Homo-oligomer: A and B are copies of this chain.
Amino acid sequence: MDPRCPARKLLDRIGTKWTSMVVKVLAEEAPDELRFAELRRRIPGISQKMLSVTLQSLVRDGLVARRVEPTVPPAVHYRLTELGLSLERPLSALRVWAETHMPEIDRSNQLADESPPG
């Protein structure tokens, strides 16, 4: 709807529920790889389906690389690409901000809950 704003497009992607978490977990392990089940274990609460669609979208965007070992059963490995790694930098800055300032945001919301009804 505003194709001229790259930031909007980017947030459409990394703003989905699990994407930033998947990138974070892969970044912590980078440049090593993680298998599907390992990722799942490290992301509490994610379903098989959501991990699958999230990874597909990241692969499609070129942020994550997928490597299949043609064994049986198959072993599939995921890692951040160079592009994914470069995204991790500004993303981790945002994480630091969140860890520092979310308490303030929470407090602001509590104030809003208490005062305006009265």
Q: Which residues of A approach B to under 8 Å, CB–CB? A: 1-2, 5-17, 20-21, 24, 44-45, 60-63, 83, 86-87, 89-91, 93-99, 101-102, 104-105, 107-109, 112
Contacts and interface: CB of A to CB of B under 8 A. Distances in A.
A59 to B, nearest CB: 8
A113 to B, nearest CB: 9
A105 B61 contact: yes
Contacts of A1: 17, 45
B87 A6 contact: no
Given A101-B83, A102-B10, A104-B83, A45 B2 contact: yes
Given A86-B97, A94-B90, A102 B60 contact: no
Given A5-B21, A6-B99, A14-B11, A104 B44 contact: no
Oligomer: number of copies: 2
A93 B90 contact: yes
A34 to B, nearest CB: 18
